[in-house]
Amino acid sequence: MTDDDTRLLRVAYEEARAGFDEGGCPIGSVLARGGRVVALGRNQRVQKGDPVAHGEMDALRKAGRQKSYRDTVLYTSLSPCMMCSGTIVQFGIPRVVIGDTRNFGGNEDFLRSRGVEVVIADDPDCIALMARFIREKPELWAEDIAE
């Protein structure tokens, strides 16, 4: 992890924390280019009633049209689901930094098989926030992962 990785993953965590404080699923994301934020996002499923408003999708929507994503990095507080992983591959995002794979994971090998560099940070704040959410709101968590 670089200094930029540490700093930008912290921004993703702060987005996750904001989502938690709003009563939503605490998953935050940052799309960056050259160490600079292009867009921030957080899971908005509860807040907007939108089943595909995951943190990564929110950041990408807010980034708007990009000529290319091949020089970007996506930071996410939680391992991306298959929908978000597919979008990462579709857009050609070459690198993903993940804060937490303990509470949810499984698509890291899929991303790697498609040529995406995956960095797992095992960030204690990301892990603790998601564990708290799962403990306090298991019904929302089950809904978010479609169980």
Residues noted as catalytic: 56
- Tell me which residue has tokens 């404080």: 21
Report yes or no: 94 and 116 within 8 Å, Cβ to Cβ. yes
Q: What is the CA radius of gyration of the chain?
A: 14
Question: Which residues lie across from 75 on neighbouring strands?
Answer: 30, 97
Token couple for 78: 């939680």
DSSP state of 84: H
Return the amino acid letter for 119.
Answer: V
Neighbours of 37 (CB within 10 A): 15
What phi-psi label fits residue 115: left (phi over 0), alpha (psi between -120 and 50 degrees) or beta? left
